[in-house]
Amino acid sequence: MKINKTLIGLILLSIVGTLMVYQSLPDTIPIHWNFNGEVDNTGSKSMAFFTAVLPLLIYLLMKVAPKIDPKKASYDKHMGSYTIVAIAITVLLIGLHWVALIAALGYDINMGMFVKAGVGILFIVIGNLMPQFRHNYFVGIRMPWTLASEENWRKTHRFGGYAFVLMGIVFFIAAFFQTEISGFLSFGALIIAMLAIAVYSYMEFSKERKHT
């Protein structure tokens, strides 16, 4: 994966911007929100540096991963999709970092709405690209059955793509509800999607084993 200079520039701009507003931050800032968008943990304002640098760390990690993956040849077949996912995750982290900073500065921000909407869009992007992921150890649905069989990997990621898109749609819609049902919808969609993918993958594994 080639270094995306525009994305690196955006990350550095975000870090510089964080330095500029740092003195205006209160000594204690919110660092975690629950599914209902309520602050459930706070920390020192120095955490703002960590969340500012985190997108860069994640992006660099995703750049290195294909080089150390034992199945690195697979990335040649899905590098385009992998690159889009890396960019989407990095942009989401930058966006959430700044929404959190704005909330810390005292502005009335519904963090839960931004998190669910952002994660929902990310799930939709990943779901659309998931069927293109080839057998590897770093990206995709990594379960005992998918890692043991390339055929199981292919079928599970095709099914998982639909599951992720549907889950992303639920997350995005739930973002605009201001009640506890928003959290239940998001968490419920996540649990159901993960269980459905795991059950489907195991069932396909069982079918393969019967035919061997």
Lowest mean pLDDT among 26-40, 63-77, 86-100, 134-148: 26-40
pLDDT digits (tens, 9 = 90+) for 17-27: 999 999 999 88
Q: 65 pLDDT exceeds 70?
A: yes
Instruction: Assess contact for 116 and 181: CB atoms under 8 A.
Output: no
Q: How far apart are CA 154 and CA 160, in angstroms?
A: 10
Lowest mean pLDDT among 1-5, 8-12, 138-142, 200-204: 1-5
CA proximity to 11, closest of 82, 79, 86, 123 = 86
Q: Which two tokens stand for residue 64?
A: 């290195």
- What is the residue extent of each domain of the chain? 5-210
Burial 86-112 (b: 16+ CB within 10 A, else e): bbbbbbbbbbbbbbbbebbeeeebbbb
User: In the structure, what pLDDT confidence band is assigned to residue 203 with cuts at 50, 70 and 90?
Assistant: very high
User: In the structure, what pLDDT confidence band is assigned to residue 37 with cuts at 50, 70 and 90?
Assistant: low
Q: How far apart are CA 39 and CA 112, in angstroms?
A: 9
Own/partner pairs for 204-207, CB < 8 Å, 24+ apart? 204/145, 204/151, 204/152, 204/155, 204/156, 205/145, 205/148, 205/149, 205/152
pLDDT digits (tens, 9 = 90+) for 121-145: 999 999 999 999 999 999 999 999 9
Average confidence (pLDDT) over 168-182: 87
